[in-house]
């Protein structure tokens, strides 16, 4: 195998094995920063040795074995480790072979539990949301700092500092590498799901930049969600989130035109929707409902997405049911954004005048002051009512608020379309 092929193989192995490796090491050393350093030491060793010796038959096991030896050396050498590490060091001095065997067992067993613990640590509420996202993608998603920085349009140095600060915060706070219980677990799971969904949403509708979609982020979020569903099979909201992401992701091919321009839901070619992802999403939704989670915030959103997925066309959509689902979602998680989405559905179910009345009731909400979709939705309803000049102003206002260049171009085109329609309106 040539050197470039070996490096490509190492990269592929690292993507797969890094989360498992870091999770196992973190359980031993009780510090995600040190665990990541040890894992990278194993990666460096692979880069140095594999081009000459070839890729091992079981490369993941090779990385794990190398990391184990580094971990054992660290435990033996470092004088300032905490009480848990000191206990391990004394055990090594008293009975080295037995201690090594215990470390081997600790790293080899309960890989799934380790990954779940690592995900809960990366999404610890002590961290700011942007730090949770970055740390989750780095430790559990296996992305490089550069990849995460490019995905979220921040300088690599800024992103690197964010990750370093997050790891330092966890270490200084003495966050235990254990699964939380009771109310704390529920609160932490909420954080985990929020982070995964934030990653997905940034890929599904990028808030800024030149791309309408960032498919790689959607794929990362889906992978994390599926892993979490496998590790926590009895958590209804986990399945609700996976259902929502699967169904939303099914539309990816239909959401952009030939030049990468956005194609809105009602104008999409539904034949291009991925039926396999839809089937997976509906199955996950059924699982969430069977676990008693039909009124969870993600399950309700997944049920709304399912209404679209089951309809052959926009006209066949059960808009009245979508309104009812938004009513339920508004009770579970009251939000002006939920109300805005409900207004859209109401406009489809009861007519644009009814939708516009509800949107107008939201215009003074401070939370929507800079939200570009408010004037965007209002403009769409005004077009349907034939009030083109008012609609033009709303589309231009929405274009000024969005930070995504593709979306801005679409909104300005819709504003120009209003001018053309107004010009041919009879006097």
**Displacement of CA 323 from its chain's centroid (Å):** 26
Q: How far apart are CA 158 and CA 149, in angstroms?
A: 8
Return left, alpha or beta for 95; rule: phi > 0 is left, psi -120 to 50 is alpha, else beta. Answer: beta
**pLDDT surpassing 70 at residue 112:** no
User: Which of the pair, 183 or 302, is modelled with greater confidence?
Assistant: 302
Q: Which pLDDT value is given to residue 83?
A: 47
Residue pointed to by tokens 């403009």? 379
Q: How far apart are CA 149 and CA 389, in angstroms?
A: 41
User: Which of the pair, 16 or 102, is modelled with greater confidence?
Assistant: 16
User: Which of the pair, 97 or 370, is modelled with greater confidence?
Assistant: 370
Nearest to 66 by CA among 49, 45, 48, 92: 45
**pLDDT surpassing 90 at residue 324:** yes
**pLDDT surpassing 60 at residue 226:** yes
| Token code pair at residue 28 | 């031993």
Residue pointed to by tokens 């401070």? 366
Q: What is the mean pLDDT of the chain?
A: 87
Segment 396-406 shows an average pLDDT of 95
Segment 210-231 shows an average pLDDT of 87
Structural domain boundaries in the chain: 1-109, 111-232, 233-312, 318-368, 370-427
Q: Which pLDDT value is given to residue 1?
A: 62
Segment 124-133 shows an average pLDDT of 92
pLDDT in tens, 50-101: 888 888 888 888 898 898 888 887 767 665 445 455 554 554 454 444 444 5
Q: Which pLDDT value is given to residue 111?
A: 47
pTM here? 0.79
Residue pointed to by tokens 């052959």? 312
**All residues at 6 or more sequence positions from 332 whose CB lies less than 8 Å from its CB, including other chains:** 295, 296, 297, 300
Q: Which pLDDT value is given to residue 90?
A: 53
Q: Which pLDDT value is given to residue 197?
A: 92
Return left, alpha or beta for 110; rule: phi > 0 is left, psi -120 to 50 is alpha, else beta. Answer: left
User: Which of the pair, 357 or 67, is modelled with greater confidence?
Assistant: 357
3-state helix, strand, coil in the chain (%, to 5): 75, 0, 25
pLDDT category at 253 given cuts 50, 70, 90 is very high
User: Which of the pair, 147 or 104, is modelled with greater confidence?
Assistant: 147
User: Which of the pair, 290 or 88, is modelled with greater confidence?
Assistant: 290
Contact between 31 and 171 under an 8 Å Cβ cutoff? The reply is yes
The lowest-confidence range among 52-56, 314-318, 409-413 is 52-56
Q: Which pLDDT value is given to residue 113?
A: 75
């Amino acid at each position: 195998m040539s050197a470039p092929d070996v490096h490509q193989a190492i990269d592929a192995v690292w993507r797969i094995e890094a989360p498992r490796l870091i999770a196992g090491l973190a359980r031993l050393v009780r510090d995600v920063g040190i665990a990541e350093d040890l894992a990278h030491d194993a990666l460096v060793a692979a880069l140095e040795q594999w081009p000459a010796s070839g890729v091992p038959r079981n490369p993941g096991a090779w990385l794990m074995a190398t990391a184990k030896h580094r971990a054992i050396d660290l435990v033996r050498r470092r004088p300032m480790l905490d009480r848990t590490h000191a206990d391990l060091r004394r055990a090594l001095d008293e009975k080295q072979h037995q201690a090594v065997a215990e470390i081997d067992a600790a790293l080899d067993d309960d890989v799934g539990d380790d990954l779940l613990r690592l995900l809960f640590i990366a999404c610890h509420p002590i961290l700011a949301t942007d730090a949770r996202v970055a740390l989750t993608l780095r430790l559990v998603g296996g992305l490089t700092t550069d990849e995460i920085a490019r995905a979220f349009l921040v300088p690599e140095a800024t992103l690197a500092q964010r990750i370093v600060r997050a790891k330092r915060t966890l270490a200084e706070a003495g966050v235990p590498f254990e699964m939380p219980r009771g109310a704390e677990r529920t609160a932490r799971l909420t954080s985990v799901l929020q982070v995964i969904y934030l990653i997905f949403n940034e890929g599904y509708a990028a808030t800024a930049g030149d791309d309408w979609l960032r498919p790689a982020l959607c794929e990362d979020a889906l992978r994390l969600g599926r892993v979490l569903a496998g590790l926590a099979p009895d958590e209804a909201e986990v399945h609700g989130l996976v259902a929502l992401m699967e169904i939303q992701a099914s539309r990816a091919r239909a959401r952009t035109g030939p030049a990468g321009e956005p194609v809105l839901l009602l104008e999409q070619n539904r034949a291009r929707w991925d039926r396999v992802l839809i089937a997976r999403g509906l199955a996950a939704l059924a699982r969430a409902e069977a676990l008693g989670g039909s009124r969870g915030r993600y399950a309700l959103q997944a049920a709304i997405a399912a209404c679209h997925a089951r309809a052959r066309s926009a006209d066949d959509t059960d808009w009245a049911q979508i309104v009812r689902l938004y009513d339920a979602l508004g009770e579970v998680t009251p939000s002006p954004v939920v109300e805005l989405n409900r207004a859209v559905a109401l406009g489809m179910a009861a007519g644009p005048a009814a939708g516009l009345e509800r949107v107008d009731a939201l215009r003074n909400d401070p939370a929507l002051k800079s939200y570009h979709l408010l004037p965007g939705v209002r403009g769409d309803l005004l077009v349907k009512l034939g009030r083109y000049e008012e609609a033009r102003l709303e589309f231009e206002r929405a274009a000024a608020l969005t930070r995504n260049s593709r979306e801005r171009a679409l909104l300005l085109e819709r504003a120009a379309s209003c001018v053309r329609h107004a010009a041919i309106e009879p006097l």
